[in-house]
């Protein structure tokens, strides 16, 4: 199977899976590939990132210099010593600051305006120099 990023003549982007490049061309030629938003069958392949084999991805995850090593150690320390609260970060931090919940070390994500409001209100927060890993089931 091959995945293509597609774009219709109205500018809508979508993707589709096909058995092969020839399969895509045959289906497109017979009008069987249509935009998911407007139904247009005037569809072209859009620019997309190449697929990278898994063994190369693993090498990309290995720190390459002392700064990356230090950043990875910080990430491990934060993840080991605090609770990930995801998008509830601003609410959790405010509730702990106001004494509504017991204090504990947390990390998560907040919209910029929510983070600014926490700082303006004197809630002790700091940005992390990395994006938290997503917790998935």
Model confidence over 13-69: pLDDT tens digits? Answer: 999 999 999 999 999 999 999 998 999 999 999 877 776 666 655 566 677 788 888
Q: Which two tokens stand for residue 14?
A: 């979508």
**Does the predicted model carry a pTM greater than 0.75?**
no
Number of Cβ within 10 Å of residue 40's Cβ equals: 15
């Amino acid at each position: 199977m091959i995945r293509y990023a597609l774009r219709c003549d109205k500018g809508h982007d979508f993707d589709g899976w096909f058995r092969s490049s020839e399969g895509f061309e045959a289906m497109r030629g017979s009008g069987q590939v249509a935009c998911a938003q407007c139904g247009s069958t005037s569809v072209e392949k859009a620019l997309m990132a190449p697929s990278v084999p898994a063994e190369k991805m693993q090498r990309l995850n290995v720190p390459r210099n002392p700064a990356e090593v230090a950043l990875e150690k910080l990430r491990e320390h934060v993840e080991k010593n605090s609770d990930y609260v995801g998008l509830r970060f601003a609410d959790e931090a405010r509730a702990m600051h106001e004494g509504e919940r017991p204090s504990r070390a947390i990390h998560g994500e907040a919209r910029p305006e929510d983070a600014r409001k926490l700082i303006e209100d004197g809630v002790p927060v700091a940005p992390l120099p990395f994006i938290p890993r997503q917790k998935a089931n």
